[in-house]
Amino acid sequence: PPPPIVINKYSDEQLRNVAQRMKERLKLYKEKVIDQYASSPEITPPVMPLKTRLTAAYWASVDFVMNPLANRMDSILGPTIDPFTDRRYIAWLSLVTVAINYNTWFITARMCFPYHNEFVNPIWFTMDVLSDVIYLLDAIFFQPRKQFVKGGDIIKDRASTTKHYRESERLLADVVSLLPFDLLYLQFGFKSGFRVNRLLKIDTFFEFSDRLESILAKAYIWRVIRTIGYLLFMLHLNACFYYVASEYQGIGGTKWVYSGLGSAYLRCYYFAVRSLINIGGLNEPHTVFEITFQMTNFFVGVFVFSSLIGQMRDVIGAATAGQTYFRTSMDNTVAYMVTNNIPSLVQNRVRTWYTYTWDAQGMLDESELLDKMPLVMRTAIAVDINLATFQKIDLFKGCDQQMLVDMLLRLKSIIYLPGDFVVKKGDIGKEMYIIKSGAVQVVGGPDNSIVFVTLKAGCVFGEISLLQSSKDGGNRRTANVKAYGFANLFVLEKKDLFDILIHYPESQKVLARKGRKLMKAKGPAAAKVEEEKKKGLALFGPKPPTPKLLRAFGGNFNKKMFNQIKKLQEEKLTEKKDEEAEEPKKTSEKEEEKNEEKQEEQINEQKKEDEPKKEEQTTGEKLLN
C-alpha cells in the first residue's frame, strides 16, 4: 500500500507511539489469560516500614482515647486556633508561662537550698502536680489546634494541624518535659532534681512574649518587665551557686561563705547583688576555691550586666524614638525661626501646632506611617475611617465604589489652630475638606464677627469647587471658613480627583451632571447671572429665519452692501481713534493756558495787596521825620 500522507509529523509520531503501547499491552494481557500465574504489568505498591506502621498504630490508639475529649472542647476552643490573633490562646499561654516560671525559679532554688521537709513537701507536691496538669492540657488540647502556614495558605483543617504538631520538634520537647521522673521519689526520696526536664518547656515562654508584644499598644512596657526579669533570674542563679559553694566550703567556716544566720536565700541573694553588680564591700576570699569563684562572679557580672544594660537602653530608645523625633523637629524649627527673627506670635502658634499635633495623633505626619504599609492595609484603614462619610456626600452619590476608595487613599490630614482661616472669600478653590475632628465656622460681616453656621465632625465643604472652572470666577470661594478650636481636616485636591476620574469615565459623567445641579442650587452668583440672561432672551423668542426667496434674490447685492457698511464702520473707528489721540494734546494745551492765566491773576492780586502797605510805610517815615 502507498505510504500514508503525513500532515503533522509530531502528531503522527505520537499516534504511532500510542498504537505501539496498546499492542504491547494487548500482548501482555493475552499472556495473562493463557497463564494466570504470570506477573501483573502494574507497579507493586511500596511496603510500609515497620516503624511507620507502629507509629500510625500508636497515634490511632491515642486518637481513639483522646478524640471524645477533644471533640467536646470544640465548642469552647473551636476546631482550630489562630495563634496570632486569638486572645483565648494568648490568655492560655500566660497560664502556661506561670507554670514555666514556677518550675524555673523553684526547681533551682529547691535543688540548692534546704527547703525540703515534712511540712513543706506536700505543698511542693501539690504545686508540681498543678504545673504538670497545665503542661498536659497544653499538649493535648491547644498545641494540636494551632493553625499554620504551608505554601502561603493558612491550614485550618483539624487533622492537618494535628499531624503538623506531631511531626514537629515541639511535640518532642513537650513529651520529654512531661516524662514522670518524679516516680523516682519512691526510691531516692523527694528531690527536685528529678524535675529538671520540666525546663524544656521554655519555648512556650518566648512564644507568649512574642504574642503579647503583638497585641499590646505599648509593647515596650512588657520588654522592660522582661529585661528586669532576666536580671533578677541571673541574680537568683548566682545566689544558688553561692549557697552551694558555701556548703562545699562549710557554712560559717570562713568570713567569705554564708554564715548560717538569718534567711539563707535572702543572705545569698544579697551577696549575689553586691558581687555581680560590683558594688564592693565584700569579705575577702582566702582559699583558692573562694578566689576562683569570686573572680568568675566578677567576669560573669561584667558580661551579663553590660548586655542587660545595652538591651535596656535599646528598649527605652525604641520606646521614646517617636518622642525624640518630635522634640528634634520642634527644636530645629524653633532654631530656624529664631535665626530668621520670626515674630514671637508666629513662634508661639508654631509651638502650639507641634504640641497639639503630637498629643492628638502621636506623630507629626500620618502618611509616613501609612506609606510603609501594603496597599491592601492602607485601603482597609481608609475605608474604615472615611468611606461612610464619603457615601453621604451628595456630589459622590451614585459613583463607582472603587473610585471612592481611590479618593480615600489621596486624602491628606491637616490640623488647623483656633482662629485659622481654612478658606477665605475670593480665594481660588482647589480642594474640598472633610472634618475629621473639631469644628469650623462659616463667618462673614465686618471683622468676620457674624457666624452663619458651625460645621462639626463628618461634615464636608468645598466640594463644588472641585468641578467648577475658572471661567467667570466659578472656582472662587464665596465665604470665609475658620477653625473653631483645634480642627483636624482631611483634604482632597482637584488634581488628585482628575487623575482618578481618568480611569472612571462613567463616574466622571455622573459627577459632571451632579456638579451642574449643585452649582444651580448653591453655586456662585456667576452661574445665576447666566441663568437670568438665558431667561431674559427667552422672553423675546427666537429670531425668525430669512425667507428663501429674499435670500436667493438679493444674495450678491446684500454682500456688496455689507462690505461697504463694514468699510464705513472701519473708517469711523479710525477717525475716532485719531480724535481720541489728539484730545489729550488739546486738553494739555488748554490746561497750560489756564495755569498761565491763574499765575497772572495771582501776581496782580499780590500787587494790589502790596500798594497800601507801601503807602503806610511812606506815611510812617514822614511822621518820624
More confident of the two residues 145 and 557: 145
Mean pLDDT of 337-348: 86
The region of weakest confidence among 130-134, 379-383, 404-408, 554-558 is 554-558
| Per-residue model confidence (pLDDT) at position 542 | 52
Asked whether residue 207 carries a pLDDT value surpassing 90, the answer given is yes
Mean pLDDT (the chain, rounded)? 80
Residues 234, 228: Cα–Cα separation, whole Å: 10
Please enumerate in sequence order all residues whose Cβ is within 8 A of that of 201, keeping only pairs 6 or more positions apart, or say none: 96, 99, 100, 103, 135, 173, 174, 177
Count CB neighbours of 237 within 10 A. Answer: 16
DSSP 23: H
At 624 the pLDDT is 37
What pLDDT shows up at residue 109?
93
Q: Which single residue is written with the C-alpha cell 467536646?
A: 72
Residues paired with residue 484 on neighbouring β-strands, in sequence order:
439
Do 448 and 419 form a contact (C-beta atoms < 8 A)? no
Q: Which of 38-52, 130-144, 155-169, 338-352 has the lowest mean pLDDT?
A: 38-52
- Pick the range with the lowest mean pLDDT from 1-10, 210-219, 348-357: 1-10
Ranges 37-46, 255-264, 341-350: which has the least confidence: 37-46
- Considering only residues 105 and 497, tell me which one the structure prediction assigns the higher pLDDT: 105
Is the confidence at residue 602, as pLDDT, over 70? no
Residue 620 has pLDDT above 50, yes or no: no
Give the highest mean pLDDT range of 215-229, 351-365, 461-475, 502-516.
Answer: 215-229
If 0-12 CB within 10 Å is exposed, 13-18 middle and 19+ buried, where does residue 437 land? Answer: middle
- Structural domain spans, the chain: 62-215, 260-364, 366-521
pLDDT, tens digit, 9 for 90 and up, residues 117-130: 888 889 999 999 99
Q: Is residue 92 pLDDT above 90, yes or no? A: yes
Q: What are phi and psi of 447, to 5 degrees?
A: 60, 20
Phi-psi region of 183 (alpha: psi -120 to 50; beta: other; left: phi over 0): alpha
Q: With 90 as the cut, is the pLDDT of residue 97 above it?
A: yes
Residue 314 has pLDDT above 90, yes or no: no
Map residue 429 onto helix, strand or coil: coil
Please write the tens of the pLDDT for every residue from 464-482: 777 665 554 556 777 889 8
- Asked if residue 560 has pLDDT above 70, the reply is no
Give yes or no for a contact between 185 and 129, defined as CB atoms under 8 angstroms apart: no
Tell whether the model's pLDDT for residue 613 goes beyond 70: no
* 423 has pLDDT over 60: yes
Burial letters for 464-499: b for 16+ Cβ neighbours within 10 Å, e otherwise?
bbbbbeeeeebbbbbebbbbbebbbbbbbebebbee
pLDDT for 555 equals 52
Task: Grade residue 544 by pLDDT with cuts at 50, 70 and 90.
Answer: low
pLDDT of residue 110: 92
Task: Compare 194 and 586 and report the one with higher pLDDT.
Answer: 194
**What is residue 147's three-state secondary structure?**
coil
Residue 599 pLDDT class (50, 70, 90 cuts): low
Question: Residue 540's pLDDT is what?
Answer: 46
With bands split at pLDDT 50, 70 and 90, how would you rate the model's confidence at 619? very low
Residues in the chain: 625
pLDDT confidence of residue 325: 80
Return d(Cα 131, Cα 526) in angstroms, integer: 82
What integer pLDDT is reported at residue 300 of this predicted model?
85
- More confident call, 87 vs 613: 87
More confident position, 429 or 586: 429
Instruction: Name the residue with cell 444674495.
Output: 555
pLDDT in tens, 16-70: 899 999 998 888 888 777 766 656 556 666 667 777 888 888 888 888 888 888 8
The predicted model gives 172-194 an average pLDDT of: 89
**Which pLDDT score, from 0 to 100, does residue 244 have?**
92
> In this model, does residue 211 exceed pLDDT 50?
yes
- Position 267 pLDDT exceeds 80: yes
Q: Are 434 and 411 in contact (CB under 8 A)?
A: yes
Count other C-beta atoms under 10 Å from residue 238's C-beta.
21
Residue 111 amino acid letter = M
Give me the mean pLDDT over the 495-513 stretch. Answer: 84
pLDDT at 502: 86
H or E element that contains 508: helix 505-522
Mean pLDDT, residues 428-451? 84
**Tell me, what's the pLDDT at 550?**
47
Return the pLDDT at 474. 55
pLDDT higher than threshold 60 for residue 614: no
Q: Tell me the pLDDT band of 538, cut-offs 50, 70 and 90.
A: very low
Range among 133-142, 146-155, 302-311, 446-455 rated most confident: 133-142
- Give the 3-state secondary structure of residue 400: coil
- Which carries the bigger pLDDT value, residue 55 or residue 268? 268
Rounded mean pLDDT of 594-615? 64
What is the assigned CATH class of domain 366-521?
mainly beta
**Band of residue 316 on the pLDDT scale cut at 50, 70, 90:** confident
pLDDT of residue 539: 44
